[in-house]
Amino acid sequence: MRVFVTGGTGFVGSHVVRSLLAAGYNVTALVRLHSNLDNLRDLPIEIVVGDLNDPNLWEFMVDCKYLFHVAAHYSLWQKDRELLYHHNVQGTRNVLTAAKKAGIERTVYTSSVAAIGVGKSGQVVDETHQSPVEKLVGDYKKSKFLAEQVAIEAANRGQDIVIVNPSSPIGPLDIKPTPTGDIILRFLRKQMPAYIDTGLNFIDVRDVAQGHLLALEKGQSGDRYILGHQNLTFKQLLTQLSQITNIQAPQTSVPPWLPLGVAWIEEKILSPLGKTPTVPLDGVRMAQQPMYYDASKAVRELGLPQSPLNQALKDAVDWFVSNGYTKGNRGREE
């Protein structure tokens, strides 16, 4: 069976491709013209070049039975607002329209816990929770919410679409890196003198990929499934990294107003003057409230694996080190 994958060059998408190949599927991966193909190098897949908003996208899907729509534009910079809605919302609408026209039997759409929102004062929430869109911090979260609504509406019209909402994945092949990978990389580079007192839900990226395949096999159309594992405070995460690397974890937390002030100055004042900001304002605003989730529905209904986070962290560290990221010549910071 042939499967069409968008976003296969990215962190989660490349692991989805590998899981599909291991399960015996044939894979066609959509890539942009200037995409970094390192995560797909030497894999026995078909690569087609195109864009999420191409009007003829359906032609690439004609011989495929299933679709994994993993691609999304991720940015917390306010200057990228229009790109977020163009790729995430309009792109999702076009991809699902193409899938219907091409006769795709079932789609797994990769949303995010960002679309669900957060509970009050660090409350753990599940798939039944929904923060009002106006309460979602930043245009990335808003765009993912609106894109998920596109998928739900298509499912309500009869298209077979299962929605998965990964939390914060950890592991190898974090090529950009992602915000979670950036935390690990800053720690390895000893660029983290203090930390923000917050928390996240983390999961091994390979479990996220397996969760996509399980959603294809067992998920209910129109339902969403949180692909997560363990809720950790930022301090707990850094303590685990310290134990793995023997690098001392920062001992001091900073009050929220300090990074918020720095980010506001960088994005609102210095960025228009030509200085590249280092801390996104929306990212700091997000970190002011813990983002904790309950993935028991996916564990119970799909059989989502819950691999030890310590191994995922170790594999992420080893990958960053072996690929030269800690030397400062790779990654978003450069």
Q: In what order do the strands lie in the sheet with 230-233?
A: 168-170, 199-204, 230-233
Write out the DSSP string of 29-98. EEE-TT---GGGTT-S-EEEE--TT-TTTHHHHTT-SEEEE--------GGGHHHHIIIIIIHHHHHHHH
Contacts made by residues 126-129, CB under 8 angstroms, sequence distance 24+: 126/226, 126/293, 126/294, 126/296, 126/297, 127/165, 127/223, 127/224, 127/225, 127/226, 127/297
Is the domain spanning 2-171+202-229+292-307 CATH 3.40.50.10320? The answer is: no
Question: pLDDT tens, 306-330?
Answer: 999 999 999 999 999 999 999 865 5
Q: pLDDT value at position 193?
A: 83
Other CB atoms within 10 A of residue 172 CB: 21
Closest CA to 298 of 152, 170, 148, 162: 162
**Peptide bond before residue 272 is cis, with ω within 30 degrees of 0:** no
Question: pLDDT tens, 146-167?
Answer: 999 999 999 999 999 999 999 9
Q: Please, how many CA atoms are within 13 Å of residue 333, restricted to the half-sphere of its CB?
A: 16
Domain residue limits, the chain: 2-171+202-229+292-307
Question: What pTM was computed for the model?
Answer: 0.91
Question: pLDDT tens, 240-287?
Answer: 999 999 999 988 877 665 555 665 466 566 566 666 656 665 566 566
Closest CA to 317 of 325, 305, 308: 325
Question: pLDDT tens, 131-142?
Answer: 999 988 888 899
pLDDT band at 65 (very low <50, low <70, confident <90, very high): very high
Q: pLDDT value at position 328?
A: 63
Residue 331, pLDDT > 70, answer no
Give 254's contacts (C-beta < 8 A, 6+ positions apart): 194, 195, 196
Give 314's contacts (C-beta < 8 A, 6+ positions apart): 244
Q: Please, how many CA atoms are within 13 Å of residue 56, restricted to the half-sphere of its CB?
A: 4
Pairing between β-strand 106-110 and β-strand 66-69 as defined by DSSP bridges: parallel
Q: What is the spatial distance between Cα 247 and Cα 187, in angstroms, rounded to a whole number?
A: 8
